[in-house]
Chain A
Amino acid sequence: MYKIVKKERLNPTVTFMSVYAPLVAKKAEPGQFIILRVDEKGERIPLTIAGYDREAGTVDIIFQVVGATTEKLNHKSEGESIEDFVGPLGKATETEGIKKVAIVGGGVGSAIAYPVAKKFHDIGAEVTAIVGFRSKDLVILEKEFANASDRFIKMSDDGSWGEKGLVTAPLKDILDSGERFDVVIAIGPIIMMKFVTLTTKPYNQKTVVSMNPIMIDGTGMCGGCRLTLIEPDGTKITKFACVDGPDFDAFLVDFDEAMNRSRQYFDFERRAYEKACNLFNKEIK
């Protein structure tokens, strides 16, 4: 069992948790993920590591309530425990030799983008953070991003926070001005990562995306997290996000296929979520 040592609500649907898992904390690096199971009947879900404290032995996760499992997780209180918590899995984000970076985060993906931005900031790289939310009341980690970046560009769909528009707009402006980065790292919904890639590709601006497909074991056994890379010569290569990723060269990723595959259990997830919500509602009554 793994104890929740801290829990905080970041916005109406996004929660921060710090979990006591010393072996994971000792090794965790930005870009890696953990797999957890809330209880004995629970499914295994991957969540990207949002932070860690090696001395305290804790690992932070930030999650949005989107389905039955995250709903159950959100009902756990500080001091309670979760059944399983394994990691750190996947490869850490490549930072070596990078002096200038743009981190593009969207929605709850910003939670994952933040530790990556911080890591680059800590090693002395020049960090541009472009972060977007639907509206002001969904904003998370504003102060943290401000502290971990040299330039912080805020975007929202409705203009209630920063500029009105998508994260791709300021990115395009920067690239248009002739400015370049050693790498642009996009972290968020697949659709956002696809459009960031479509923005940077005409400029041949190196771009890395952090993929988050459906997984079970996360250790290179089930193959559920497979995605396709399309080489410039058209060769298709099957890769596994759990052991080969989760970071991939954005110009090679087949985003449409990844989007298709992510909808594999859409109906099931919706039903399970409703069931879980009803269950909790009953308890409250």
Chain B
Amino acid sequence: MITPRNEMPVQDPKLRAHNFNEVALGYTAELALAEANRCLCCKNMPCVAACPVNIDIPGFIKFLKTGDTEGAYKKLTEYSSLPAVCGRVCPQETQCESKCTLGIKFKPVAIGRLERYAADAHNAASSEPVNPTPKNGHKVAVIGSGPSGLTCAGDLVKKGYDVTIFEALHIPGGVLVYGIPEFRLPKSVVRKEVDTLSALGVDIQCNAVIGKTLTIDEIFEAGYEAVFVGSGAGLPSFMNIPGESYRGVYSANEFLTRVNLMKAFDKDADTPINVGRRVAVIGGGNVAMDAARTALRLGAEKVYIVYRRSMDELPARREEVEHAEEEGIEFNLLTAPTEILGYNNKDNPRDPKNGDVIGMRCIKMELGEPDANGRRRPVPIEGSEYIMDLEIVIMAIGTSPNPLIKNTTKGLEVNRKGGIIIDENAMTSRERVYAGGDAVTGAATVISAMGAGKLAAKSIHELLKG
């Protein structure tokens, strides 16, 4: 007898649209047990192969079936350094859960929610000191403390390596801290994962911009035997349409960094942000959803997602899109901006409002033939132009890799788009330098970055174990 998939309690959309508290509240013990019991623990375990870090999913769920949350947590940490993070932000619906045997006839087991439950139970209860692994005498440097760097550092420190993470910003966590908002991934969860790594012996050096403060060559001179580059995605892309420099046009990176990293939503914080009444976010990925929902929570009256394809092509996680719709975000689909309009008082060139965003000219699109990636190409519909009345426009259309490390590291090859080139073992063109995450792939998911960090840790271990 298969019971229905257990929904996870969430904050009421009307309430949560005005606060930064976490939207999804997590399973209770009863719900977790009921959901764990839905798992058939089938022999072929298709979910494991569909996980980028191949977590033994039936293995950890078996513990939950007996109520042993700590056993489940230990099993998870054999594969993942960040289970509380992945349980929240992984796109399980296209990974493990998409291959669940139960999913053929019924809804799949809610693997992500169970992962989160086990990790949260551990983090809430555990005061057990972690036992650092005895040091093996080898030094490894990790550049960046986002998901790939934390994973790589975690795997290596557990094998006895002396690991130093160099982080450019003033606090560790990378995109988990500056990018993903509090209501989707509480910063206390990230803090806890980082603290665990510190307790295991990872040395985290903040305010260290590699390529500027130190170069990779200097890291080697300081006695490190291998380097992992997990420096993340870089500069935000813009559309190159007129008006993108008006006051009120943000990149999603800037908008989210002001709020998440610099806490611009807190009245005691010194970092400012302009929100305005009417906000449009350009793009359809998770970052676009994050920016739109953040704008709403900062007090915008009306927030639009403007995306040039249709709902079916929207790349954001389904759950995030649903949450955004419930909260009242309006989707202007099959729509492309052509120009951002600014205030211009012709009678008074000194009017302080000159240069403020007042709107955006858009054109309706229809879907034509599929492009090289198989996605149907949007084609403008002639004569369908219209103007949206706006005060803020946020560009969430992707990023291009950061040039700092490439420019200061001889022999480090990058591809046409600026991503670092690696082989199947995560090794770059430069000896003893490995890379992974968005610095290699361009903007992608937390879990794929973790997978890359894991692979690099394995390769570095192969290199140094002697």
Contacts and interface: CB of A to CB of B under 8 A. Distances in A.
A263 interface: yes
A84 B167 CA distance: 13
Contacts, number: 121
Given A42-B270, A260-B247, A37 B212 contact: no
B235 interface: yes
A86 B170 contact: yes
B263 interface: yes
Contact of B257 (A86, A216, A236, A269): A216
Interface stretch (B21-29, B38-46, B147-155, B238-246): B238-246
B271 interface: yes
B274 A264 contact: yes
B403 A243 contact: yes
A87 to B, nearest CB: 7
B88 interface: no
A196 B207 CA distance: 35
Contacts of B269: 41, 43
B299 interface: no
B258 A89 contact: no
Contact of B238 (A23, A238, A265): A238
A269 B354 CA distance: 18
B272 A220 contact: no
Contacts of A189: none
A226 B352 CA distance: 21
B49 interface: no
A87 B257 CA distance: 19
Contacts of B262: 43-44, 216
A265 B272 contact: yes
B8 interface: no
A84 B402 CA distance: 22
A224 interface: yes
Contacts of A66: none
B27 to A, nearest CB: 34
A266 B404 contact: no
Contacts of B258: 216
B169 A240 contact: no
A254 B270 CA distance: 29
A219 to B, nearest CB: 5
A30 to B, nearest CB: 15
Contacts of B178: 217, 221
B254 A41 contact: no
A85 B170 CA distance: 9
Interface in A2-45: 23-24, 27, 37, 41-44
Contacts of B402: 219-221, 243
Interface residues of B, number: 43
B213 A87 contact: yes
A87 B168 CA distance: 9
A84 B271 contact: no
B270 A69 contact: yes
Nearest to B210: A219
A257 interface: yes
A266 B257 CA distance: 20
B208 A23 contact: yes
Nearest to A21: B207
Contact of B254 (A83, A222, A257): A222
A217 B403 CA distance: 14
13 contacts: A23-B214, A43-B271, A85-B207, A86-B209, A87-B212, A216-B254, A217-B168, A219-B402, A223-B235, A257-B245, A260-B245, A260-B354, A268-B274
Given A217-B168, A243-B402, A254-B245, 15 more contacts: A41-B263, A87-B213, A219-B169, A219-B209, A219-B404, A220-B234, A220-B403, A221-B402, A223-B253, A224-B250, A227-B245, A228-B245, A238-B244, A240-B235, A263-B247
Interface of A: 23-24, 27, 37, 41-44, 68-69, 72, 83-89, 216-217, 219-224, 226-228, 236, 238, 240, 243, 254, 257, 260-261, 263-266, 268-269, 272
Interface of B: 168-170, 178, 206-209, 212-214, 232, 234-236, 238, 240, 244-247, 250-251, 253-254, 257-258, 261-263, 266, 268-272, 274, 352, 354-355, 402-404
